Amino acid sequence: MVFKLICVLFLISCMPVRAKQVLFISSYSESYELVGLQKKGLHAVFDSAGIPLDVEYMDMKQYNTPENVRLFYEHLAYKLRSHSKYDAVVTGDDAALHFAEKYQSELFKDIPIVFFCVNDIAYAEHFDGNPMITGAVENFYLKDTVDIALRFQPQTEQITGIYDDTLSGTGDRKQFNELKKDFRGYTFSAIDSSVCSPAEFRKRLTDIPPDSVVLYLNAAEDKNGTPYTIPESVRLITEYCRAPVYRTGIGGIGEGLIGGKVVSYEDSGKKAASMVMAVFNGTDIASLHVVTNGESRYIFDYRILKKYGIGLRLVPENAVIINKPKTLLERYEPLLRPVLIILSTLLLLLILVFYDNLRRRRFTQRLQYQAEHDYLTDLPNRRSALKNLSKQRYGLTIMMLDIDNFKNINDTYGHICGDQILIEVAHRLKDVSDTYPCSVFRIGGDEFLIITPEPECEKTKDLLMYIRQQFQKPFFINGRKQYLKSCIGIVCSNSTGDLIQTSDLLTKVDIAMYAAKNAGKNSFAYFDDSMKAELDRKNRIEALLNNACLHDGFFIVYQPQIDTDTGKTYGYEALLRLKNSQIGAGQFIPIAEESETILTIGRIVTRKVIEQLSLWKKAGRTIHPVSINYSSKQLLDTEYVQFVKNLLVEYDISPSLIEIEITESVFLNKSEKSIQLFRDLAACGIKLSLDDFGTGYSSISYLTYIPVSKIKLDKSLIDLYLLDGKDSFVKNIIDLSHSLGLEITVEGVETEHQYDRLREFGCDYIQGYFFSRPITGAEIEKSVFK
């Protein structure tokens, strides 16, 4: 018995030990310069111990939204389900720690978590003694930096901090406010970039007294949520702030900041990795107290020290001095300084003259058009716009703006709320005309016209972007915050000397505006002659479709779907064609979807398919299921399911022989109409399949609430991935579909190699020209695919 026990222990000791694995969750992205230093520190410890490090990025600098956190959670949760359990998790900065704590029990149960570079000290300290979480804060050494700044600037009376409202910025603010206890004799002020537009931010920076101590902690976004990179914020701050700007982080030093006592992100990474190694070596994580004194060193920019007349004798010993060699700019600084002062004075005079002329022009325009204003918005109306255009003898640019989905606002909230939205839009567009040389008109409904005397499109881009920015700010409907979008058509006219053709311009800008709407919500489009040609083409096709609907101008072809196990036909996909026309479905279906013609076409296709099934049944032929494509616009046809049921009864066809192919656009917003459609089809026994999987926003999460029984993999994915070295992607999709209890059909199979690989991967059905082009019902009766 003892001998057996010894043998078992010997065998256990000989078994290979699984290497430890660590996951690093960064709050930011790989392109953020500080992340590279953090990773370098982590790798320095883990690489020497032979421990692999996986990295996931939350990218909260660029996308600081709850939606981004949700998407990151889904992404990480999906990966963790197929990954062996990590032995430790390291989080970098505040957002990652908040995420790890929130999902600790779900994603990281019984896994030690070590954080570092966390700015919110109070939040970090509450983990002290936590049985599974500890780490180190990102102490900004603000007191030490202010002490050295006061040595440099003994005459100062004000200390100003620059930060934002991001998670990291919240910690920055707390640390900055803590300084007040240590420097009671000074005036404290702060600038929060998250509540300032770029113009307001520049103004606040300009107002800082030149003898102030300025601490740049963070400025990652403006009040519209538009992100600043560190180089962008540093350039902005140093350009408009007259005082030297100190920093306790490495980013930006050497680009205009004077420096300070700086956090060493590389050393912080080493510290966090060392704490993980201590846990791996048997130390109880609860005994590792949260470290509140980070790794640091003094760094100063010689050029900035020189710029503000600060001698090196005032710099602490062992400080790192960068950019010490003299530059050409420094040699000629005495000469350049008065030149810059003169140029700045001239530029200021030019700006003052420009804005003075602009104010005079606007005042004249108000007097001229006061009698021709819209009753609701107090804007000049359509008549005024036509009068304005009829008098133009020189080039100009006109823009037509239309509010997206405005009808839904009137239908949902009532016309009173709709009127309030129009008034607010008009107010914002008035602000545009107060900033740029342009005239704004309400020409009817939710359409506005902007006329600017600049004929060159390239020179109107700033105006266009400023108009679009007005819709980035929220609107309030019945006290609830809503975000609206708009589409803008633009026409630039370079006419000189002759009267501008008003009707021609308005036609063109109207065409451009509808081109923008067709391109998608929140779009803009410049008119070109091809738009007119495209409109004419669409009108011709639309007329052709209307005629085909009235006079039986369509016919159906069927493309076989082959069972990979048997090599025999499983079913067909019904494809629509125009009689006596070379115009393909790819051209006329999008045009039909722009109007309600697609509703009529959808019923025509359904009737023709069921009639064909009935003919085959009466002829005693083997009947295979036929799939019918369903457009998202057909959701407007609320009686479609009943129409199908009536046809099935009329022609005595089983619902199991009909399959409806939907695309993700049908269910993307989980509308009540789409959910009801799924219920109604399922109730009458008609199967659903998800078409074009992989070409849009396709997500596995959709399959949790859509009652589909089959997925159709798009041809574009086969062409892209069914290649040697890349085809595991296709196999994974097939395996995943089967694991969800779904069948899968692959479209666009054109070669024997593709067929063999897909059959090897376990694909259920194949469709493509390798087997057959789309053929008519009569041809099916003669083909091998019947």
Q: Judge contact between 448 and 442, C-beta under 8 A.
A: yes
Which H/E stretch holds residue 574?
A: strand 569-578
269 closest CA partner among 87, 96, 86, 136: 136
Q: What is the pLDDT of residues 239-282, one digit of tens each?
A: 999 999 999 877 788 889 999 998 788 888 999 999 999 999 99
Q: How many CA atoms lie less than 13 Å away from 745 in the CB half-sphere?
A: 27
Q: What is the pLDDT of residues 681-701, one digit of tens each?
A: 989 999 999 988 866 555 566
Residues 6+ apart with CB under 8 A from 533: none
Q: Judge contact between 249 and 140, C-beta under 8 A.
A: yes
Residue 588 pLDDT > 90: yes
Reduced DSSP (H G I as helix, E B as strand, rest coil) percent helix, strand, coil of the chain, to 5: 50, 20, 35
Which pLDDT does position 62 carry in this prediction?
82
Residue 451 pLDDT > 80: yes
Q: What is the pLDDT of residues 614-642, one digit of tens each?
A: 999 999 998 999 999 999 899 889 999 99
Q: Judge contact between 171 and 98, C-beta under 8 A.
A: no
The stretch 205-209 carries a mean pLDDT of 96
Q: Residues in the chain, how many?
A: 786
DSSP state of 166: S
Helices (H), 155-263: 167-178, 198-206, 230-240
What residue has token string 């493309």? 559
Which H/E stretch holds residue 468?
A: helix 461-469
Which pLDDT does position 326 carry in this prediction?
58
Structure tokens at 407: 């009808």
Q: How far is Cα 625 from Cα 648, in angstroms, rounded to an integer?
A: 13
Which pLDDT does position 698 carry in this prediction?
53
Q: Report the amino acid identity of residue 469.
A: Q
Which H/E stretch holds residue 24?
A: strand 22-26
Choice among 42-46, 234-238, 670-674, 769-773 with the minimum mean pLDDT = 670-674
Q: How far is Cα 500 from Cα 504, in angstroms, rounded to an integer?
A: 9
Residue 402 confidence class, pLDDT cut points 50, 70, 90: very high
Q: How far is Cα 595 from Cα 508, in angstroms, rounded to an integer?
A: 21
Q: Judge contact between 247 and 257, C-beta under 8 A.
A: yes
The values of phi and psi at residue 778, to 5°, are -65, -40
Structure tokens at 559: 């493309």
Which pLDDT does position 14 carry in this prediction?
47
Choice among 46-60, 417-431, 482-496 with the minimum mean pLDDT = 482-496
Residue 328 pLDDT > 80: no
- How many other CB atoms sit within 10 Å of the CB of residue 681? 23
Which pLDDT does position 456 carry in this prediction?
86
Residue 371 pLDDT > 80: no
The stretch 356-366 carries a mean pLDDT of 80
Distance of CA 311 to the CA centre of its chain: 48
Q: Judge contact between 576 and 631, C-beta under 8 A.
A: no
- How many other CB atoms sit within 10 Å of the CB of residue 625? 15
Which pLDDT does position 329 carry in this prediction?
65
Choice among 158-172, 400-414, 497-511, 545-559 with the minimum mean pLDDT = 497-511
Q: How far is Cα 486 from Cα 667, in angstroms, rounded to an integer?
A: 23
